[in-house]
Structure 1
């Protein structure tokens, strides 16, 4: 492409229908002569139109060609915008579907947790029920054993308690008297026959000691004389 300050060549105007004549079969020399006679601003505008024609892909520099190309571009732009809007709508629908799916997933997880808790509670209740039945069975066995070993206890009244207390006091008095009698024997057995036998043995031992003392005294006297 040429700059606005450069003179356009004949290649920039290959889409302009050639004008035959002036000794050139294609009319290129005549066209170059016409372009060279134009003012710089006109040449710049002509160059700009040529660039636009290249961009639009048209072979004719007529206004109808430009209009048709612009209409086609506008239609393509409209189609692109419609496609973009459809994509945006599809994206929104996918996001809504994703949010719904995530919500359903959270609900399923919460239901699973609740079901697990209910199952654990049911298992614990069954364990508690089994323990309760076992304890009731043991209680029945203990009750049967107690009924088997239980005896008839007499009814206790205030009069029987007072009578028993009086009898206990009499027994305590009798025991004290017997203790006093036992102390009177001074170490002898409480049986009278045994006491007499022990006393007789003690007197015999005493006589032997007296005789032994007499013999010792006699021997001492004999040794002195």
Structure 2
């Protein structure tokens, strides 16, 4: 199986590449340092599996890239490989199209098992998180909790953390290759949808929903 590794740390990419290339049924065909590069690499190599880190500052995060890649390259199965033992992250990426979720401190055997399970068409959630994930889904349905991934557009989800980090409209426009007016319109719409009235409220919301990592 052809595999791409996306992680912002070169030493991590190198380490996992060594582990995977040692397997007779696996080959790492390329690596990427952020979500944008991961998208381009997947487009070029059409891998069977993408190992995706979640937090890759300052580039595009794995949270955003997962949805984009899954939408445009549905045949590539995505396994999230992260340090975050967090149900919020797990919930979002699995809803966005990821097929697996493994912590970076997991044994090599578990990672290899996750990759093979996903490659064969299954889903894999690290056992230590599986039960809490199911419980959280049940609680969400019962409590009717507002999920930003249900009410915000993809562009609004891209803009939200940038606004929260303090970037101006012009800076965001340049980063996303859109006009300033487009940024202003999306920002106003997301504030309306989330019923927020100020940037401090947006920052608090972004932190609570795990859109910001420092």
- Smaller-chain TM-score bracket: under 0.3
Larger RCO, structures 1/2 (Cα 8 Å, 6+ apart) = 2
| TM-score normalised per structure 2 | 0.20
The structure that is strand-richer by fraction is 2
| TM-score normalised per structure 1 | 0.19
The structure that is helix-richer by fraction is 1
